[in-house]
Amino acid sequence: MDASNWDFLQSFTPQFQAMRSEIESRLDTASSAAPGTVSADELNALSALLAKAAKSIADAAGAIPSYDQKQYEAGVSALSAPPHRGKQMEQLKALSKTLEELRTTSAPKSKFAFKRKVRAPGATGAITKSALQHAAPTSVPELASFASSPDDAPLASADSSSPHLLLSGQRNKYLTRLDFPPHTAQTDLSLADLTDCVVDLLPLTTAGGLEEGGPLNLTALHVRNLKDCVVLLPHVAGSALLHDMERCVILLGSHQFRMHTSKQINILLSIASNPIIEHCSAIRFGQYPAAFEPVPKPLPMYTVQDFSHIRATPSPNFSIMPDEETERIKEALETLVCNRGVQRSLQGDRSVAAALTLDIILRV
């Protein structure tokens, strides 16, 4: 490690520990409160702090040796060793789990549940095995049920002068740009703690050619703890860092892409560099549909790098999506975008809108 990285690490470590201590203190206070008495504002503030801590680790990744993370995850390093990135991520995961448990105990009982009809087995497509399609599961399990979030739960938070948007703590919602408060045109975006949600942030254009909800130029993307979600995003100018996702479909263009500790994900990706996965399984990659490109252009091919499988043999943790599967997902997404008017007409019953969309897209 050179002198500049060492100096950075010496200043970063106490800053991170101070941030972690603040989160732990507020979580302890909230956990000691009577069940159901913790406000939604406090829960969202804690989510924002966790997102900020995760972003600080992501931003520091280039200055923290990657082998430190592996040593901590393998339990090799001694407790007296400096808490580098791997240890910090484990600390954040523990704090995130505490927050999720706190949300569960604080949430009011659901007013209703929307049950989905279970399809017959064998309705999903199969992937032909090849060197890049080695032993990866090919389908996304069915969702059992949907439960609506409280009607008064805030959907998103932002300061109109802050270059950061946070969308967190939602279940069974159909979310668009119109759900964001006023924000700067250029912004980082964090998505956290979402379940059974559709996040559609592709441009919404009015008859006059203006973007509803205002322009949205994403400079970076941070995603944590999404389950059974469909995420449609415009191109991200910088990096996309995703953690702890399960059974999701993602449409994304970015300069860099890195995914950790996720499984059963379908990704339609446009990227100039090679995407990286680590501690993941059943990840399927496909090309970003040309129909969603803001300006039509040739889509470069990419090579997925699995940092958990540094061997000459093909990684069993990801596969390249067959053309017919890519086409099926693309058609489902195009149908979704073309029928936005129908989805928005169901804003009074977002649970139905989200369920219909997830049923179309997550069936592949």
pLDDT tens by residue, 322-337: 988 888 888 888 777 7
Q: What percent of the chain has pLDDT over 90?
A: 24
Question: CB-based burial of residue 262 (10 Å sphere; 0-12 exposed, 13-18 middle, 19+ buried)?
Answer: buried
Domain boundaries of the chain, sorted by first residue: 3-106, 115-361
pLDDT tens by residue, 297-315: 666 678 899 999 888 889 9
Out of 115-124, 214-223, 264-273, 345-354, which region has the weakest mean confidence (pLDDT)? 115-124
Banded pLDDT at 61 (limits 50, 70, 90): low
Q: Which residue has the higher pLDDT, 273 or 164?
A: 273
Out of 213-222, 256-265, 346-355, which region has the weakest mean confidence (pLDDT)? 346-355
Backbone angles phi, psi at 252, to 5 degrees: -155, 140
Q: Which residue has the higher pLDDT, 255 or 55?
A: 255
Backbone angles phi, psi at 91, to 5 degrees: -65, -45
CA distances from 279 to 129, 171, 308, 319 (A): 21, 26, 6, 15
1.20.58, 3.30.460, 1.10.287, 3.40.30: which CATH number matches 3-106? 1.20.58
What is the model's pLDDT at position 39? 78
pLDDT tens by residue, 120-165: 443 333 322 332 333 333 333 332 233 334 444 445 554 444 568 8
Look up residue 138 and give its DSSP letter: -
Task: Report the CATH architecture of 115-361.
Answer: 3 Solenoid (2.160)
**Dmax (CA) of the chain:** 62
H or E element, residue 218? strand 217-227
In whole angstroms, give the CA distance from residue 284 to residue 324: 13
What is the model's pLDDT at position 37? 76
19-56 in b/e burial notation, b at 16+ Cβ within 10 A? bbeebeeebeebeeeeeeebebebbbebbbbbbebbbe
Q: Which residue has the higher pLDDT, 292 or 225?
A: 225
What is the model's pLDDT at position 269? 93
pLDDT tens by residue, 174-203: 888 877 776 566 789 999 999 988 898 887
Answer whether residue 75 shows pLDDT above 50.
no
Answer whether residue 282 shows pLDDT above 90.
yes
- pTM reported for the whole predicted model: 0.55
3 state SS of 362: coil
- Percent of the chain as helix, strand, coil, to the nearest 5: 35, 30, 35
In this structure, the dihedral spanned by the alpha carbons of residues 300, 306, 311 and 313, taken in order and rounded to 10 degrees, is -60
Q: Which residue has the higher pLDDT, 11 or 126?
A: 11
